[in-house]
């Protein structure tokens, strides 16, 4: 039996595990100082996904004026494609969504699986940042999402099928 996934607030004591995942997940990893800075912002939402008390993934979202900026989402490479990122995003939107709430993010153009995940949550491409990623000068796709009055998405696949089904 698979142990349950718990989503909770990310804490400073989680950072050694977070840094280990971050370094495996991204060619240009965030530093410890970057995570500490984001955790210290009272308006941000930083989440940890844990299994048996160990970090399986995390999410960092900062508030800038009237817009949420999804800064970082990563899942342990041994636990990818098991719904952890979906669970983290669901919790973010359960926590922060209000009608008209706006979110933005940047994602590598080559990261098709992340783009597909974000699209399932209603993010849409709105532009590019040329040469955004320092390791290889890859462009970033800028994506935006505006929350609607129906509230947070609880099952993006089901919501998509319901939109596609004839009324």
| Integer angstrom CA distances of residue 83 from 79, 80, 103, 155 | 9, 8, 21, 11
What is the spatial distance between Cα 125 and Cα 115, in angstroms, rounded to a whole number?
A: 9
Please say whether the beta carbons of 46 and 58 come within 8 A: yes
Is residue 133 among the annotated active site residues? no
For the chain, report the end-to-end CA distance as a whole number of angstroms.
Answer: 39
Is residue 106 among the annotated active site residues? yes
What is the spatial distance between Cα 139 and Cα 135, in angstroms, rounded to a whole number?
A: 11
What is the spatial distance between Cα 16 and Cα 35, in angstroms, rounded to a whole number?
A: 11
Q: Catalytic residue among 22, 38, 58, 118, which?
A: 118
Q: Catalytic residue among 106, 119, 138, 159, which?
A: 106
Residues forming the active site: 106, 118
């Amino acid at each position: 039996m698979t142990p349950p996934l718990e989503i909770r607030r990310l804490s400073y004591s989680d950072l050694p595990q977070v840094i280990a995942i971050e370094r495996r997940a991204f060619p240009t990893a965030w530093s410890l100082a970057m995570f500490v800075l984001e955790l210290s912002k009272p308006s941000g939402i930083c989440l940890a996904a844990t299994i048996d008390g160990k970090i399986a993934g995390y999410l960092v979202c900062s508030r800038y004026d009237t817009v949420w900026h999804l800064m970082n989402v990563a899942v342990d490479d041994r636990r990818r494609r098991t719904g952890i990122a979906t669970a983290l995003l669901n919790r973010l939107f359960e926590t922060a969504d209000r009608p008209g709430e706006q979110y933005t993010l940047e994602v590598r153009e080559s990261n098709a699986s992340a783009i597909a995940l974000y699209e399932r949550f209603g993010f849409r491409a709105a532009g590019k940042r040329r040469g955004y990623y320092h390791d290889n000068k890859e462009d970033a796709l800028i994506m935006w999402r505006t929350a609607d009055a129906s509230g947070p998405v609880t099952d993006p696949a089901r919501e998509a099928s319901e939109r596609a089904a004839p009324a």
